[in-house]
Amino acid sequence: MEREKGYEDRLLRNKTSFFQSRFIRFLGGKNLLFLLISLLLVGCIVFIFDKVSFIFYPLQVLFEVVILPGVLAIIGYYLLRPFVRLAEKSGKGKVPRGLVILILYVIVAALMTLLALIVYPFLRDQFMNLIQEFPIYFMALIENIVTYLNNSKFDELFTRFNFDYDAVLMNVTNDLVSTMKDTFANVASTLASGITGFVSTLTGILLSLVTVPFILFYLLYEGEKLPKFILRLFPPRARNEVGQVMKEMDKQVSSYILGQILVSICIGVMMTIGFLIIGLDYAFLLGILAMITSVVPYLGPAIAITPALVIAIVNSPFMLVKLIIVWTIVQLVEGKFITPNIMGKSLSVHPITIIFVLLTAGSLFGVAGVILGIPGYALFKVLVSHLFSLLKRRYNRFEQDPENKYES
């Protein structure tokens, strides 16, 4: 009896369970089951939320209403906060913060009024002239391409294959012009038919812009108290870690906003000076366009150079060479000196990552995604890096072998 009982015990010990089999252990064992159950729960949650999405419609409306003034107020907050801190530091706390903010408001309003009175009429005239003359530049570009093809070796090649590129270019041009006319007509008819919706949307945008100064005032006046309030919501043991995460996030957003605006201003000034030196038409307008679009890294400069290329090609091939030289010099100065010295290494994001983030955010959220994609990625990067550091510390605490520990 004892011998049979011992034999049965040995069979039970030698019998491997389902999670101890070689294939399941290769896939992760019990961790695989936990992962599958977690994915199943996540799928159920997503399915349920999709079916009851109407419950969250008020929150969606609230987000759409708050997002525009909120983003503009946050940008203004990070632009004006250094001046508020500098004024308080120089006044040694004797000057009330509210008075400092009001003085800043007056200075900003005076600068905007001065720019509107002096710069806006000149830029408006240049913009209207460019809109009127750009189709002429475009048609001249097409004619130059046709003339070049007629006088090149490609003419014989196209003739051999019975390819009438002249007709193709003219058809493409006519289709483009007709498409633009149809687009403008559709836009006009849409605006005419939906004038009520257009007026309501415009009214909502204007009301959002009106609320920006009030939101900005309270951010500047009580913005320093918000991190302390958020920290009090967490347990005392986690406050140091959460405080570090919040400081890192604040540093990332501040560095990006201030740095990107300063870099854009430098690019606009250098491009304007370069366009004036080479004698390019609409130099000031094209420089302002380069400054505005440079807020979006990599994609913005490519958009800004397009009208300048068309104007330069129509003027002369030598003008195109001079434009390429100016653009190359500006990009080299910006990439080697301006951006490293202004933004530093606080946003050390690989260019390929930036391009993918811009394309993905633009596809998901449109223009807002293109503008906010990089700072959003910077915040996400801070969260992931801190969570990974917590994971490393937890793993090192339970790992007995020193060779398998993370390097601290």
Which residues have a Cβ under 8 Å from the Cβ of 254 and sit 6 or more positions away? Answer: 78, 81
**How far apart are the C-alpha atoms of 157 and 145, rounded to whole Å?**
16
pLDDT at position 333 is 85
Whether pLDDT at 185 is above 80: no
> Is-contact 214 78, C-beta < 8 A?
no
Confidence tier at 189 by pLDDT (50, 70, 90): low
104-113, 148-157, 277-286: least confident range: 148-157
> Is-contact 123 283, C-beta < 8 A?
no
7-16, 164-173, 282-291, 375-384: least confident range: 7-16
Q: What percent of the chain lies above the pLDDT cut of 70?
A: 72
23-32, 348-357, 367-376: least confident range: 23-32
Domain boundaries, given as residue ranges, for the chain: 21-51
pLDDT at position 63 is 74
- The pLDDT tens digits for 75-106 are 888 888 888 888 888 877 677 888 888 988 89
pLDDT at position 235 is 84
- The pLDDT tens digits for 110-126 are 988 888 888 778 777 77
Place of tokens 């030598």: 318
pLDDT at position 11 is 47
**How far apart are the C-alpha atoms of 398 and 408, rounded to whole Å?**
15
Averaged pLDDT for residues 270-292:
87
User: H/E/C letters for each residue in the chain?
Assistant: CHHHHHHHHHHHHHCCCHHHCHHHHHHCCHHHHHHHHHHHHHHHHHHHHHHCHHHHHHHHHHHHHHHHHHHHHHHHHHHHHHHHHHHHHHCCCCCCHHHHHHHHHHHHHHHHHHHHHHHHHHHHHHHHHHHHHHHHHHHHHHHHHHHHHHCCCHHHHHHHCCCCHHHHHHHHHHHHHHHHHHHHHHHHHHHHHCHHHHHHHHHHHHHHHHHHHHHHHHHHHHCCHHHHHHHHCCCHHHHHHHHHHHHHHHHHHHHHHHHHHHHHHHHHHHHHHHHHHHCCCCHHHHHHHHHHHCCCCCHHHHHHHHHHHHHHHHHCHHHHHHHHHHHHHHHHHHHHHHHHHHCCCCCCCCHHHHHHHHHHHHHHHCHHHHHHHHHHHHHHHHHHHHHHHHHHHHHHHHCCCHHHCCCC
Confidence tier at 158 by pLDDT (50, 70, 90): low
pLDDT at position 196 is 56
Whether pLDDT at 228 is above 60: yes
Averaged pLDDT for residues 177-193:
53
pLDDT at position 200 is 59
What does pLDDT average to over the chain?
Answer: 76
Q: Which residue has the higher pLDDT, 313 or 12?
A: 313
Phi then psi dihedrals of residue 45, to 5 deg: -65, -45
**How far apart are the C-alpha atoms of 139 and 314, rounded to whole Å?**
9
Quote the tokens at residue 336.
């080697």
Whether pLDDT at 32 is above 60: yes
Whether pLDDT at 226 is above 70: yes
Q: Quick one: CA dihedral 345, 348, 352, 353, positive or negative?
A: negative
What is the chain's Cα-based Rg?
A: 31
The size of the chain, in residues, is 408
Q: Find the distance separating the first CA and the last CA of the chain, reported in whole Å.
A: 58
The pTM score is: 0.69
